[in-house]
Amino acid sequence: MNTGKEVTIYDIARLLNLSSATVSRGLKNHPSISQKTKDRIKEMAESLGYRSNTFASSLRLQKTNTIGVIIPRFNSSFMSDVIAGMEKVANNCGYNLIISQSLESEKKEIVNAATMFQSRVDGLMVSLAYNSENISHFEPFMKKNIPVIFFDRVFSHEKCSAVIIDNFRAGYDMTSHLISQGSKNIFHITGNLNRNVYKERFEGYKQALADNKILFNPMNIIINNLNMEDGIEAAQKILQLLKKPDGIFVTNDFCAASCMLELKKNGVKIPQEILIGGFNNDPISALVEPNLTTIDYKGFEMGEMTAQTLINHLTNTQNLSLTQTIVMRHELIIRQSSIKQ
């Protein structure tokens, strides 16, 4: 047989002298077909390299049993945990995941969304890119009542549920902790304040200052992309200041760790001179010296909750019009980097 031609159930039926209906049922493990016939069909299908036409089947059923996931980046232990949680729930419910990354680009996120839509995913789970300004590229899903669930980095929309933590309270908790250890001139290194996670953590930081009668200084805010290089650059800016901070709250552990190591390399004693806190409880927070105080929230649990919420919509156990915001718990983990000595 020509190996360049796609093998069909009709090819298998002809070679086995069976009807195409029998072959179809045999491939689906239908109880009306004897095990002996099923084995013959399976053996022939494997020898010919037969592949089931799931696309044609999905067109008939209006369902692909696939769920799309768009994340900012793969290189994050938090996102790895999120995806693991999503996959556990999705697979247990008979769904597969199609995963893509926006690389923190709204332009690529738009392309990813279009690809997911053309792939006919049954639903979509999204954590927005760093610079995404709106969610118009997800409107085609909403118009067709395809559920879209945002998680972590979210956008408020009447047709979309969201799974988050209380970022305001987390920012407040970290800043209050630094103040309790004696810090009064606290720098805040954060990301794009158009993103909910960074905006709300910033608001929590400001509120903690106000509640402790510390005047907010806009010059104490450094906004960057929160990668390791940005942490080094932020440290170099701080080193040039005549009046250095006595506390730093960074909304990302990798950025916090690189900032701390650069300060130490230049003779700054941590935590004796500057207290430092990060965010996410990434593995690096427990590896750097001193260990980094951080905010912990469970990526795996967030992935589970996001996937279950989406599947509840898909299985009609939750009406798509009944959107909700699910707030998951966080925890302040205090380590040596923020304990005054």
Are 161 and 303 members of one domain? yes
Structural domain contains residue 222 = yes
Distance of alpha carbon 132 from alpha carbon 155, whole angstroms? 10
Distance of alpha carbon 239 from alpha carbon 262, whole angstroms? 9
Backbone phi, then psi, for 165, in 5-degree steps? -110, 170
Side chain identity at residue 162, one-letter code: A
Tokens encoding 141: 């899903």
Whether 29 and 47 have beta carbons less than 8 Å apart is answered as no
Burial status of residue 17 (CB atoms within 10 A of its CB: 0-12, 13-18, 19 or more): exposed
Are 156 and 196 members of one domain? no
Are 243 and 319 members of one domain? no
Are 135 and 281 members of one domain? no
pLDDT, position 77:
87
Structural domain contains residue 271 = yes
Residues contacting residue 86 through CB under 8 Å, at least 6 positions apart: 67, 69, 97, 125, 303, 304, 306, 307
Per-residue pLDDT band at 321 (split at 50, 70, 90): low
Measure the CA dihedral 225/231/237/243, to 10°.
Answer: 120
Are 39 and 79 members of one domain? no
Domain CATH for 34: 1.10.260.40
Per-residue pLDDT band at 165 (split at 50, 70, 90): very high
Burial status of residue 67 (CB atoms within 10 A of its CB: 0-12, 13-18, 19 or more): buried
Whether 71 and 79 have beta carbons less than 8 Å apart is answered as yes
Q: Which of 291, 298, 254 is nearest to 275 (CA)?
A: 291
pLDDT, position 159:
86
Are 219 and 279 members of one domain? yes
Whether 324 and 151 have beta carbons less than 8 Å apart is answered as no
Structural domain contains residue 1 = no
Are 38 and 25 members of one domain? yes
pLDDT digits (tens, 9 = 90+) for 40-87: 998 998 888 887 765 555 555 567 889 999 999 988 889 999 999 999
Q: What is the mean pLDDT of the chain?
A: 91
pLDDT, position 320:
59
Are 242 and 311 members of one domain? no
Q: Which of 87, 79, 144, 80 is nearest to 113 (CA)?
A: 144
Sign of CA dihedral 155, 159, 163, 168: positive
- Reported in sequence order, the residue ranges of the chain that DSSP labels E, i.e. its strands, are 66-71, 96-101, 123-126, 148-151, 161-165, 186-190, 221-223, 247-250, 275-277, 294-296, 325-328, 331-333
Structural domain contains residue 58 = no
Domain CATH for 139: 3.40.50.2300
Give the mean pLDDT of 288-304.
Answer: 97
Q: Which of 154, 182, 180, 162 is nearest to 306 (CA)?
A: 162
The least confident of 140-144, 171-175, 261-265 is 140-144
Residue carrying structure tokens 């299908």: 45
DSSP readout, 17-75? Answer: T--HHHHHHHHTT-TTS-HHHHHHHHHHHHHHT----HHHHHHHHT---EEEEEES-SS
Whether 246 and 183 have beta carbons less than 8 Å apart is answered as yes
Count helices and strands (H / E) in the chain. Answer: 12, 12
pLDDT, position 8:
87
Per-residue pLDDT band at 34 (split at 50, 70, 90): very high
Q: Is the pLDDT assigned to residue 3 strictly greater than 80?
A: no
- Full domain range(s) for residue 41: 9-52
How many domains, the chain?
3
pLDDT, position 1:
45
Give the mean pLDDT of 142-157.
Answer: 92
Are 159 and 119 members of one domain? yes
Tokens encoding 174: 């970290």
Q: Is the pLDDT assigned to residue 152 strictly greater than 90?
A: yes
